[in-house]
Amino acid sequence: MIELEKEKKYWLAFNVCQGIGPLRFKLLLDYFGSAEKAYRAKESELLKIGLGEKLVAKFENCRHNFDIDSYLLRVLKLGITPLTLEDKNYPELLKQIQNPPPVIYVKSISGSTGTSDIGEILNQKAVAVVGTRLPTIYGKKVTEIIVEGLVARGIVIVSGLARGIDAIAHRQTLVNQGLTIAVLGCGLDRMYPPEHNQLAQEIIKSGGALVSEFPLETEAAPGNFPARNRIISGLALGVVVTEAAKDSGSLITASQAAEQGREVFAVPGPITSAMSKGTAELIKKGAKLVTGVEDILEELNIRNRDRVRVLRPAQDKIRDRNRAAATVETTDDEKKVLVVLKDEDLEIDQIIRKSGLDSAKVGGLLSIMEIKGLIRSYNGVYSLGLIN
């Protein structure tokens, strides 16, 4: 079996079984006291608390055919970290929204860029930047200006990896050597839109993260995006809509931000532009008018740059690696992993086979080694870390 806290496995199992959303999961958790007890409950008990016959039948089918260890192996091989509401690294701001997702999946290699804890990026000060999928030259320009100013103050940029403003926000963050989080409306083993696969990889390589509440194999669908949007706003102190028509999906994100008690900002545009009608409407309804990045920083009371991310020269990184290598102690099992990774990068099942280690121990062992900087993973493939 894959090593993972037993209770956490059942949180993931409920995440995979369709029909058990945040509200129903909370109901089950409150009634049974733990996810494991709820997952193992009899049909009669599930019916008793009001799940309904069709849903119970659907759940029965799921739990009888679902192999949690096989699923976890796939998750680990893809380099994805699942977080539950009980995890210390679960984003604090996201916990505060109504019905937060019980489980989120995070794909990041932040450990290889100076941040050993995945919670670091998820809990930094962040602002969401969203807007139309069909930006004008004006919309592109103001988005770049706003993002550049926020990144200069050490703010993490959150968006949805969609075409248009979202992609511009992510790219401008990367250009300015900042950190960005992309929230997807599909499983992290999928990509939507498909042409943004390269952008997604660049976000990961830069130390940013991809986030989704949807399990593996979930395709992008219209109904997924309102749920995704609540996470975009939920991860941020505020949402900035830089350009949007009256029917733009970004207005849903702004609305959800307001419901969550987060600040909503909108950039005014030319009165002749249809692509500025949505932002004009937001301003009429009370969104903070943005004429420059200082308007956002002042409203959010952000004065000084926090957690500055500095890209150090290569020679500094090499010196730091050598210093770290001299101080990190390794166990016998860790040495076995390092030996098999010495000449080639390997997936988790290859590491198990070549090292001869107990498969039940390897998942947890690799996680510890990543934290120590001994190894790193990308797309489910493990290689020697920065201090080797």
Question: Measured between alpha carbons, how far is residue 114 from residues 106, 110, 250 in Å?
Answer: 17, 7, 33
Q: How far apart are CA 211 and CA 93, in angstroms?
A: 14
Amino acid at 135: P
Residues 111 and 243 in one domain: yes
| 307 in any annotated domain | no
| 84 in any annotated domain | no
Q: How far apart are CA 277 and CA 146, in angstroms?
A: 19
Question: Mean pLDDT for the chain?
Answer: 88
Q: How far apart are CA 258 and CA 233, in angstroms?
A: 9
pLDDT of residue 145: 96
| 1 in any annotated domain | no
| 23 in any annotated domain | yes
Residue with tokens 């545009």: 269
Buried b / exposed e along 274-298 (16+ C-beta atoms within 10 A): ebbbbbbbbbeeebbebeebebbbe
Residues 268 and 320 in one domain: no
pLDDT of residue 153: 92
Residue 377 or residue 95, greater confidence: 95
Say if residues 346 and 340 touch (Cβ distance below 8 Å). yes
Query: 275, 299, 323 — which closes off a domain?
Result: 299
pLDDT of residue 64: 87
Q: How far apart are CA 110 and CA 104, in angstroms?
A: 17
| 227 in any annotated domain | yes
Q: How far apart are CA 253 and CA 282, in angstroms?
A: 12
Tell me the two tokens of residue 90: 């679960």
Residue 90 above 60 pLDDT? yes
Residue 293 or residue 315, greater confidence: 293
Residues 42 and 114 in one domain: no
The SS3 of residue 3 is coil
Mean pLDDT for the stretch of residues 135-158:
95
Residues 192 and 267 in one domain: yes
Q: Cβ-count burial of 80 within 10 angstroms (0-12 exposed, 13-18 middle, 19+ buried)? A: buried
Question: DSSP characters for 84-137?
Answer: ETTSTTS-HHHHTSSS--SEEEEEE-GGGGT---THHHHTS-EEEEE--SS--H
Domain containing 378 — which CATH number? 1.10.10.10
Residues 48 and 112 in one domain: no
| 192 in any annotated domain | yes
Number of domains in the chain: 3
Residue 316 above 80 pLDDT? no
Question: DSSP characters for 273-304?
Answer: -GGGHHHHHHHHTTPEE-SSHHHHHHHTT--S
What would the pLDDT profile of 286-305 be if each residue is shown by its tens digit? 999 999 999 999 999 987 55
pLDDT of residue 243: 97
Mean pLDDT for the stretch of residues 84-96:
95
Query: 276, 299, 322 — which closes off a domain?
Result: 299
Residue 388: pLDDT band with limits 50, 70, 90: low
Q: What's the pTM value of the predicted model, to 2 decimals?
A: 0.77
Mean pLDDT for the stretch of residues 151-179:
96
Q: Cβ-count burial of 356 within 10 angstroms (0-12 exposed, 13-18 middle, 19+ buried)? A: exposed
Residues 138 and 162 in one domain: yes
Domain that holds residue 339: 314-384
Domain containing 42 — which CATH number? 1.10.150
Which H/E stretch holds residue 377? strand 375-378
pLDDT of residue 354: 92
| 107 in any annotated domain | yes
Query: 36, 71, 106 — which closes off a domain?
Result: 71
Residues 44 and 180 in one domain: no
| 65 in any annotated domain | yes
Listed range (170-184, 196-210, 373-387) with the worst mean pLDDT: 373-387
